[in-house]
Structure 1
Amino acid sequence: MKLRKVTAAAAAALVLSITATACGGDGDKDSNGSSGSGGGDKIKIGIKYDQPGLGLKEPDGSFSGFDVDVATYVAKELGYEPDQIEWVETKSADRENALSRGDVKFIAATYSITDERKEKVDFAGPYLLAHQDLLVKKDSDIKEGTDLNGKKLCSVTGSTSAQNVKDTIAPKAQLKQVGTYSECLAALQSGAVDALTTDDSILAGFAAQKQYQGQFKLAGLKLSNENYGIGVKKGDTETVNKINDALEKMVSDKSWDKAVQENFGPADYKNEPAPKIGNIVK
Structure 2
Amino acid sequence: MNFRKVGAAAAIATVLALTAGACGGDDGDNGSGGSGGDGKGKITVGIKFDQPGIGLKEPDGSFSGIDVETAKYVAKQLGYDEKNIEFKETKSADRETALANGDVDFIVASYSITPEREEKVDFAGPYFLAHQDLLIRADDNSITEATDLNSKKLCSVTGSTSAQNVQNDFAKDAQLIERGGYSECIGALQNKVVDALTTDNAILAGYAAQSQYKGKFKLAGLSLSNENYGIGVKKGSDLKAQINTALEKMVSDGTWQKVMDDAFGPANFKFEPAPQIGQLK
What is the TM-score of this pair, normalised by structure 1?
0.78
* Aligned partners of 1:38 and 1:78 also within 8 Å: no
Residues in 1 aligned to 2:263 and 2:230: alpha-carbon distance in whole angstroms = 18
Residues in 2 aligned to 1:118 and 1:166: alpha-carbon distance in whole angstroms = 23
- Alpha-carbon displacement from aligned partner over 1:43-79 (angstroms, at most 9, x marks no partner): 1111122222222222221111211111011111122
Residues in 1 aligned to 2:180 and 2:103: alpha-carbon distance in whole angstroms = 27
| Paired amino acid for 1:129 | L
- Alpha-carbon displacement from aligned partner over 1:183-234 (angstroms, at most 9, x marks no partner): 3323434555443211212212222222123443322211122211111122
SS at match of 1:211: helix
Q: Flag the 1:78–1:36 CA change in 2: closer, same or farther, 3 A.
A: closer
SS at match of 2:212: coil
Match of 2:64 in 1: 64
2:156 pairs with 1:155: yes
| Paired amino acid for 1:216 | F
* Aligned partners of 1:214 and 1:267 also within 8 Å: no
Q: Flag the 1:177–1:112 CA change in 2: closer, same or farther, 3 A.
A: closer
Residues in 2 aligned to 1:112 and 1:194: alpha-carbon distance in whole angstroms = 24
* Aligned partners of 2:40 and 2:81 also within 8 Å: no
| Paired amino acid for 1:69 | E
Identity of aligned residues (%): 65
- Alpha-carbon displacement from aligned partner over 1:239-274 (angstroms, at most 9, x marks no partner): 222211211122222322222233233433222211
Q: Flag the 1:208–1:243 CA change in 2: closer, same or farther, 3 A.
A: same
Once the two structures are TM-superposed, the CA of residue 150 in structure 1 deviates from its matched residue by: 6.0
Match of 1:29 in 2: 28
Match of 1:199 in 2: 200
Match of 2:78 in 1: 78
Match of 1:220 in 2: 221
SS at match of 2:213: coil
* Aligned partners of 1:30 and 1:36 also within 8 Å: no
* Aligned partners of 1:134 and 1:200 also within 8 Å: yes
* Aligned partners of 2:36 and 2:78 also within 8 Å: no
Residues in 1 aligned to 2:44 and 2:201: alpha-carbon distance in whole angstroms = 27
SS at match of 1:131: strand
Q: Flag the 1:169–1:116 CA change in 2: closer, same or farther, 3 A.
A: closer
The runs of 5 or more residues in structure 1 that have no matched partner are 1-17
The runs of 5 or more residues in structure 2 that have no matched partner are 1-16
2:246 pairs with 1:270: no
Match of 2:44 in 1: 44
Between 27-36 and 118-127, report the one with greater CA deviation: 27-36
Between 210-219 and 127-136, report the one with greater CA deviation: 210-219
| Paired amino acid for 1:208 | A
Residues in 2 aligned to 1:127 and 1:197: alpha-carbon distance in whole angstroms = 21
SS at match of 2:211: coil
Once the two structures are TM-superposed, the CA of residue 118 in structure 1 deviates from its matched residue by: 2.0
SS at match of 1:197: strand
Match of 2:95 in 1: 95
Residues in 1 aligned to 2:169 and 2:82: alpha-carbon distance in whole angstroms = 44
* Aligned partners of 1:208 and 1:263 also within 8 Å: no
Once the two structures are TM-superposed, the CA of residue 88 in structure 1 deviates from its matched residue by: 1.5
Residues in 2 aligned to 1:104 and 1:157: alpha-carbon distance in whole angstroms = 20
Residues in 2 aligned to 1:175 and 1:23: alpha-carbon distance in whole angstroms = 49
* Aligned partners of 1:126 and 1:277 also within 8 Å: yes
Q: Flag the 1:266–1:189 CA change in 2: closer, same or farther, 3 A.
A: farther
| Paired amino acid for 2:214 | Q
Residues in 2 aligned to 1:129 and 1:108: alpha-carbon distance in whole angstroms = 14
Q: Flag the 1:209–1:123 CA change in 2: closer, same or farther, 3 A.
A: same
Residues in 2 aligned to 1:58 and 1:153: alpha-carbon distance in whole angstroms = 27
Match of 1:10 in 2: none
* Aligned partners of 1:217 and 1:268 also within 8 Å: no
Q: What count of residue pairs does the alignment treat as equivalent?
A: 261
Once the two structures are TM-superposed, the CA of residue 24 in structure 1 deviates from its matched residue by: 6.5
Once the two structures are TM-superposed, the CA of residue 177 in structure 1 deviates from its matched residue by: 4.9
What is the TM-score of this pair, normalised by structure 2?
0.79
CA RMSD for the aligned pairs?
A: 2.9
| Paired amino acid for 2:129 | L
Q: Flag the 1:177–1:130 CA change in 2: closer, same or farther, 3 A.
A: same
Residues in 1 aligned to 2:145 and 2:210: alpha-carbon distance in whole angstroms = 25
